[in-house]
Chains A and B, each alone.
Chain A
Amino acid sequence: RKEVEQDPGPFNVPEGATVAFNCTYSNSASQSFFWYRQDCRKEPKLLMSVYSSGNEDGRFTAQLNRASQYISLLIRDSKLSDSATYLCVVNDAITGNQFYFGTGTSLTVIP
């Protein structure tokens, strides 16, 4: 079983739409959670960390559900510039220093 699983998509949504991505992780003892964004042929860039209480950054909201072992990312009022691949990241529960990436979810925002 993979450490982190994501729906690869693609998600094609119109501008202004709200879109949500989910990600599940296998190890209940994992402590750190992140969403990264990766544009085509570029490096991943940190979008936001995910905290137990949930957190919001502008149009982006991240939630963590430890009981069900999933992480979500909600994007409101989608912009064309949001088109990218979104990577869910979980750290290794034992060592803490190994980060596991999902395969990514592809989002295209259509005019």
Chain B
Amino acid sequence: ETGVTQSPTHLIKTRGQQVTLRCSSQSGHNTVSWYQQALGQGPQFIFQYYREEENGRGNFPPRFSGLQFPNYSSELNVNALELDDSALYLCASSVGQQETQYFGPGTRLLVL
């Protein structure tokens, strides 16, 4: 059984650029949630995708968007990057919307 994978592992961008982060869910999981974790903080919920539809969103602006594909993998897109977007971006998959979430290793994004 393959766990949750994310790519890339690290990324450096400049302000104003756009970034796409990718996540493959664990086998058998149909739900993907994305989180942002700033240094010294707990993960903050960005949004969740269930059966290719956004299924809940945290307090993040519209420049944070996502997709889920038929194979349940997912992308997080961030437009017009700001310095404060520098963080660890975590993807978590689950067998359902309210079930236990299993995390991937994350993507570390640095915005200069």
Contacts and interface: CB of A to CB of B under 8 A. Distances in A.
A96 B98 contact: yes
B17 to A, nearest CB: 24
By size class, the interface of chain B is 20 to 34
B42 A103 contact: yes
Contact of B104 (A43, A98, A99): A43
B41 interface: yes
A99 B101 contact: yes
A4 B45 CA distance: 13
Contacts, number: 50
Contacts of B58: 98
A53 B35 CA distance: 30
B103 A97 contact: no
Interface string A8-51: 00000000000000000000000110100000001111100100
Contact of A104 (B31, B42, B101, B105): B42
A107 interface: no
Nearest to B106: A43
